Amino acid sequence: MEYTVKILARMSGVSGRTLRYYDQIGLLKPARINSSGYRIYGQKEVDQLQQILFYRELEVSLEDIFEIMNQPSFDRSEALKSHYEKLKEKRSRLDKIMATVEKTIASIEGGKPMQDSEKFEGFKEKLIEDNEKKYGKEIREKYGDATIDASNAKLRGMSQEDYDHMTKLGEEVFELLEKAYATGDPTSPEAVELAEKHKEWLMYSWTSYSKEAHAGLAEMYVADERFAAYYDKVVDGGTKFIRDAILNYLGM
């Protein structure tokens, strides 16, 4: 039950260099180093490597894998179940791309033209994935999976126009934030408009709306450095301002 680099590498399908690299960055340390300086891996490390490979399969960065697996709340069994769902999503993305390939073949051989935007169906899913990779981790960590999963599900069903409109709304929120901030008053008409626009934007990704959830999100913006940085980019203190504007709008 003890393995050297080469043996574990052969068993798992990764290279020796990969194992050494994982040791180097602290992602997977050998159980012990023997008297000659050789890395020796045991049971626990085998299971950890498997877990790492599952995450890697989902294109999670090694850094994120490290953070996830080192969280005190990390539950292997639960992680595996989540993996299963993600793999299913990945497979359905593949199915979509396969459908696009089929359609393209038919269009070439049948001579009937295809909408340009149709030609990229399935690839758009990648956008959603990437988005999740960028923001999903922290949101998941702090606010649970439910919100983001629902948000993704809705995104997926959206038409191009809807998507564009939503993007535009998001930008308008940004612009409004700047204007409203200039008034210095979170109860000003501009601030109210900001809150309204923000709600409108939210409706695109939220499956259900409640004042409490909206207010909770506003608080989250301030609490979460990532969101804070996002809104503070527009104007310093912008995050707090948008929170106050929303809370005022909601009468809280």
Partner DNA sequence: ATAAACCTTTACGCAACGTAAAGGTCAAGG
Partner DNA sequence: CCTTGACCTTTACGTTGCGTAAAGGTTTAT
DSSP labels for 80-103?
Answer: HHHHHHHHHHHHHHHHHHHHHHHH
Q: Tell the burial category of 39 from Cβ atoms under 10 Å away from its Cβ (0-12, 13-18, 19+).
A: buried
Least CB distance from residue 119 to a second copy, whole Å? 5
Q: Specify whether the CB–CB gap between 62 and 25 falls below 8 A.
A: yes
Neighbours of 214 (CB within 10 A): 19
Question: Which segment (30-38, 59-67, 79-87, 241-249) binds a second copy by CB under 8 A?
Answer: 79-87
Question: Nearer Cβ to a second copy, position 46 or 215?
Answer: 46
Q: Does 156 bind a second copy (CB under 8 A)?
A: no
Task: Show the tokens assigned to 246.
Answer: 């929303």
Amino acid letter, 224: D
Site for DNA in 41-60 (CB under 7 A): 56
Among 39, 86, 93, 197, binds DNA (CB under 7 A): 39
Q: Specify whether the CB–CB gap between 198 and 206 falls below 8 A.
A: no
Q: Using CB distances below 5 to 8 A depending on partner kind, what does residue 62 bind out of DNA, a second copy, none?
A: DNA
Q: Using CB distances below 5 to 8 A depending on partner kind, what does residue 38 bind out of DNA, a second copy, none?
A: DNA
Position of tokens 């301030």? 222
Q: Specify whether the CB–CB gap between 101 and 122 falls below 8 A.
A: no
Q: List the x/- string, 125-154, binding to a second copy by CB under 8 A.
A: -xx---------------------------
Among 17, 25, 61, 102, binds a second copy (CB under 8 A): 102
Q: E strands within 177-222?
A: none
Q: Does 90 bind a second copy (CB under 8 A)?
A: yes
Q: Using CB distances below 5 to 8 A depending on partner kind, what does residue 35 bind out of a second copy, DNA, none?
A: DNA
Among 32, 34, 209, 219, binds DNA (CB under 7 A): 34
Q: Does 120 bind DNA (CB under 7 A)?
A: no
181-213 b/e (C-beta count within 10 Å ≥ 16 → b): beeeebebebbbbbbebbbebbebbbeeeeeee
Q: Residue length, the chain?
A: 252
**Closest among 242, 248, 210 to 227, alpha carbons compared:** 242
Among 118, 171, 219, 225, binds DNA (CB under 7 A): 171
Least CB distance from residue 209 to DNA, whole Å? 26
Among 24, 34, 63, 80, binds a second copy (CB under 8 A): 80
Binding site for DNA (CB under 7 A): 4-7, 14-18, 20-21, 34-39, 56, 61-63, 171, 175
